[in-house]
A and B are shown apart, each in its own frame.
Chain A
Amino acid sequence: MQPLLSIQNVSKQYGEKTVLNNVNLDIYPGQVIGYIGPNGAGKSTTVKILTGVIQDYTGTVLVNGRDIKEDILGLKQMIGYVPELADLYDLLTPNEYLHFVGALYNIPDNLVTERATRILQSFGLLDNMNQRMDSFSKGMRQKVLLTAGILHNPSIVILDEPMSGLDANAVIVVKELIQVLKQEGKTIFYCSHMMDVVEKVSDKIVLINKGSIIANDTIEALRDGSSHSLETIFAQMTSTENLNETAGNIAQAMRSNN
C-alpha cells in the first residue's frame, strides 16, 4: 500500500542548530500516529513542515506520492491542524471566527454554519456561539480550535496537544472522535505529552529525540514483552539522568536553610 504521507530524509536547521536530522517516516490512511518527544526534540518543527508552514527544509515530503512543495495549497486543503497554545482572534465570536476560517478554506457560508453549529453543539458550546471569545476559558477556546481544525473535513488531522485545558467529558469526546475519524479512513497525527492518552489512541508510536526518530513501532513492540507503560519507556529512551534522584534534589533544596 502506498503511504498517504511520506517523510523522506527531512532535515531542518535554524542557523547552526540542527532541529531535524534526516527524519524518515511513512504514514498510512486510517492510521493514528502518536508523535512524542521531550521539549525541543523537533516535534513542532515536523508539524510545521507537514502543515506547509515551514517550507525551507531539505529532503522530501510526499502526500499520495506527490511532493508537497509542488502543491502546497492542495496539501493545506487536505490537512486539518489544531496547534498547541494556539492564539485566535478572540475579539470575534466562535461563529464569526469559524466563518472567517471557512472562507480561508473556501467553504460556502451555509455549509460553515451547518457544520459549525453541529460540532459546537456536540462540544456543548452552542449557547456561546455568539459570544466574544476574549472571556472564554482555555478549554472553550480549545473546542473552537478543534472545530476550526476539522471544519473543512480534512483527510489528515494533525493534533498538537488537543486535550490541553479540556474538561474530562470533552477529553472523552475527543478520544472517541479520534477513533471515529480513524474508522472513516482519516489519518491522525497526534502530538502530546499525555503518555496515557497517546498509548491508548495510537496505532503506532513515533518517538523523536534531538531531531532524530529513535523509535517507530506499536506500543506492544515497544514494550518488548515487558509490562512497562509508555511513560516508563519514554523516560528510559530519552532521559539521561535519574528522575527519582532529580525529584529528591528539589525536595532537599526546599529544606535547606542557607
Chain B
Amino acid sequence: MNKLLLFLILLPKALWKGMGADVGHLKAILKVKLMLDDRRPIAMGRQQTKKKKPVRFMTALSVFLSMLIGFMYTFPLHLDDRFMGLWLYFSVFLVMLSVMLITDFSTVLFDTRDKTILLPRPVNERTLLLSRLLHMFIYLFRIVLPMSLAGWITFGLLEGWKAALWFPFAIILLTIIALFLVNGAYLLVLRFSKPGKFKDIINYFQIAFSILFFACVYLLPRAVSEEGFQQLQHSAYPWAVYTPTYWLAASWSWIEPDLIWSSTKWISILAVAGPLLLMWLTVCYLSPSFAKRIGSIDVVDETPAAPVQKVKGSRSAEGTFYLKLANLLTRNPLAKAGFSIAWLQTDRSRNFKMRVYPTFAYVPVYFFYITTQSRKPLAQIWADMPETSIYVLLLYMTSFVVLQLLSMLVYSEQYKASWIYYSSPVARPGMVMEGAFKGIWVKYFVPMFLLVSCFVLYVWGFSKLLDIALAFVNITLFGLCIMRVAHRRLPFSAMEQMNEKGNRVLKTIFIMVVPMGLGFGHYWTTVTPWLWWMKIVFMILSSILLWMLWDSYKNTSWDEVKKVDLQ
C-alpha cells in the first residue's frame, strides 16, 4: 500500500523538481514518514491494535476501519427525503472526520523530531515544505477515500451516474471544511490552554472519540430503526440552513434541479463559496498562527527547565485530599505509599485515561442497548423498567470498568521505575499492593458504583438496597480475584506487552466465570421471590470469601511476586 502510494505521489517528478524540491530527499522523507504512520497506533483501534499486530497491516487496517465507519453512516442516504438524508450524511461525515483528524492528525503535525532529525541535514526548505504537504495529502487521502466509498457507491446506486460524479466533489469541499475545523479547534485549544497542556486535551479528544465511536456502533442501528426516522423531513429543521453541510447537500441541485426546492437553490452557491472562504482563512490566518504556537509546544518538549505544569496542592503534600483519604484508609506507611502512587499515577497517565475512561461510558451504552432490544417505544421501556430485574445486570455491568481498571493498575509504560520497591526496605509487597488497590477502588469504582446505585434506587426504589450491597461485595470480590489470580504484582511494575501473553487462558476463563456466576446467582434469587433469604446467605458467603482473599492479597510476599514475574 505504502509503496503504491509513494510511487503514485512521486510520478510527477518533474513537477516536484520544478518546484525546487530534491526528489531523492523527498522520497526518503516520505518513505520514512509513511513507515512511521504504519507503526503508530491509530485512534479508533488503540485498544485492539497494540504492538502485537504485524506492523505492515496497520495501513490496511486503518483503511478497513475507515471503510467500516463510512459504511455505518450511509443509513440516512436511504431516507425518503433524499435532501434530508444528504444533509444528515454530510453532517455525520464532517463530525467523524473532524474528530478523527483532531485525534490522529496531531501526531503527524507535531512530530517535533523533524526539528532535530531533518533540520541539521542538508535538505532544502522547499523539499521540507513539500514533504510535509504531501504527507498530509496522503494522510487525508487514506482516511477520506475509504470513509466516503460506501456513501459514494450507495448514492450512485440510488441516484444514478450523475450523482456518482457529483459526490466526490462534495466530499472534497467537505474535507476543506473539516481542515478548517481541525485547525480552528487546535488553535482554540492552544489559545485557552498552555502549550504543555495541549497533549492532555488531545488525549481527552481521543477518549471522546472512542466513546463516540463505540456509542455509534451500538446505538445508531437502534436510532435508525426508530419509527419516524424514515419519514424525517428537512423542512422540519429550519435552522439547518445555517450549517455548511446543508449548503453542500443543496449543491445537489446542480445535478438534479427538479428535485430541489427553489428556496434552497441559492444556498448551493455557499457550498463552494463557503469552503473557499474557509480555505482562505485557514491558509492566511489559522495556519501561520498555528505554526507559531506549535513552535511553543516544541519548546516545552525540548527545554525542560521552561515553565512546566504546576500541580494542584502546591507546596506541602499534606492537606491534599488524596492524602487525607490515604491516612484515613490505610494503617501503615507502605500501604499509604501504594495508595498515593495509585492515586497520582492514574490522575496523570494519558495511557491510563485513554484505556479506562471510555469503559465508564460502556456501562450506560450497553445498558441502553440491552434495554432497547425489545423494539418497544422508549417511553414504554422506561415505564416498564421498575417491573424488570434488569437492575441486577446494570449493577454487575460495572465490573467491565473493574476489569480494565485493575489491569491498568499493574501495567505501565513506566514499569522500570518500580526498581525503587526492590531497593527499599519493603517487608511485604502486599502492603503496597493493598494500598494501591484501595486507592484505585475509592477513586474510580466507588463513585461510579454510587452513581449507578442512585439510578437503581430512583427507578426501583429503596427495596433494592440489599441487592446493591450484595452487588458491591460481589464486584469487590471479583476485583480482588483478578488481582490475586492474574495481577499479583506491585503497582505500575509490569510491562504492558505482558498483558497480552497468552499463557493465562485458564486464569482468564476463571476471571470471566466468577462475576458471571456471582451475577447469575444474584439474579436467580431476584427472579425467584421466595428465595430472597438466599441473598443474605450469598452476602455472608461472599463477605467471608472477600475477607479471606483480602488477607491473602495484602500478605503477598516477595517470593509470590517474583513467581508471577517469572511466569
A residues apposed to B, CB below 8 Å: 51-53, 73-74, 76-77, 79, 81, 83, 86-93, 95-96, 99-101, 103-106, 109-110, 113, 128-132, 135-137, 140, 148
Contacts and interface: CB of A to CB of B under 8 A. Distances in A.
Given A91-B345, A96-B340, A131 B310 contact: yes
Nearest to B326: A103
A135 B417 contact: no
A125 to B, nearest CB: 10
A105 B424 contact: yes
25 contacts: A53-B423, A73-B425, A76-B423, A79-B423, A86-B419, A91-B347, A91-B414, A92-B345, A95-B316, A96-B344, A101-B420, A103-B333, A104-B425, A105-B424, A128-B308, A130-B311, A130-B313, A130-B314, A131-B309, A131-B311, A132-B311, A135-B300, A135-B306, A135-B308, A136-B308
Interface string B288-316: 00000000000011001110111101111
A90 B311 CA distance: 13
Nearest to B352: A91
B472 interface: no
A45 to B, nearest CB: 14
Interface in B332-384: 333-334, 336-337, 340-341, 344-345, 347-349
A83 to B, nearest CB: 6
Nearest to A74: B425
Given A101-B420, A105-B425, A137 B345 contact: no
Contacts of A90: 414, 417
B426 A132 contact: no
B421 A88 contact: no
A79 B420 CA distance: 12
Contacts of B301: 135
Interface of B: 196, 300-301, 304-306, 308-311, 313-318, 333-334, 336-337, 340-341, 344-345, 347-349, 414, 416-417, 419-427, 432, 492
B308 A87 contact: no
Contacts of B316: 95, 113
A91 B349 contact: yes
Contact of B334 (A52, A103, A110): A103
Contacts of B300: 135
Given A91-B349, A103-B340, A132 B420 contact: no
A148 B344 CA distance: 18
A101 B317 CA distance: 13
Contacts of A110: 318
Contact of A106 (B313, B347, B425, B432): B425
B311 A53 contact: no
Contacts, number: 114
A87 B311 contact: no
B420 A104 contact: yes
A137 B337 contact: no
Contacts of A81: 423
A91 B313 contact: no
Question: Which 5 pairs from chain A and chain B are nearest by CB?
Answer: A103-B337, A87-B416, A137-B304, A91-B348, A76-B425
Contacts of B349: 91
A77 B309 CA distance: 33
A255 to B, nearest CB: 19
Nearest to B196: A135
A49 B333 CA distance: 26
B301 to A, nearest CB: 8
A87 B426 contact: no
Contacts of B336: 103
A87 B493 CA distance: 12
Contacts of A51: 422-423
B414 A89 contact: yes
Contacts of A128: 308
A14 to B, nearest CB: 14
Nearest to A76: B425
A92 B315 contact: no
Given A53-B423, A87-B416, A99 B317 contact: yes
A128 B349 CA distance: 20
Nearest to B335: A103
Contact of A77 (B311, B416, B425): B425
Contacts of B414: 87, 89-91
Nearest to A131: B308
A140 B337 contact: no
Nearest to A72: B425
Contacts of A93: 311
Which of B300, B308, B421 has the most chain A CB atoms closer than 10 A to its own CB?
B308
B332 to A, nearest CB: 8
A136 B417 CA distance: 15
B304 A92 contact: no
A97 to B, nearest CB: 9
Contact of B417 (A53, A87, A113): A87
Nearest to B300: A135
Nearest to B301: A135
A137 B147 CA distance: 43
Which of A86, A103, A110, A137 has the most chain B CB atoms closer than 10 A to its own CB?
A103
A52 B421 CA distance: 11
Contacts of A131: 308-311
Given A83-B419, A92-B344, A101 B311 contact: no
Contact of B421 (A73, A104, A106): A104
Which of A99, A104, A109, A131 has the most chain B CB atoms closer than 10 A to its own CB?
A104
Contacts of B305: 137, 140
A76 to B, nearest CB: 4
A100 B340 contact: yes
Contacts of B304: 135-137, 140
A158 B310 CA distance: 32
A121 B345 CA distance: 25
Contacts of A113: 316-318
Given A77-B425, A91-B414, 7 more contacts: A53-B423, A91-B349, A95-B315, A104-B420, A109-B318, A130-B311, A140-B304
B349 to A, nearest CB: 6
B318 A101 contact: no
Nearest to B350: A91
B416 A101 contact: no
B309 A132 contact: yes
Nearest to B417: A87
A135 B423 contact: no
A83 B420 CA distance: 10
Contacts of B315: 95, 129-130
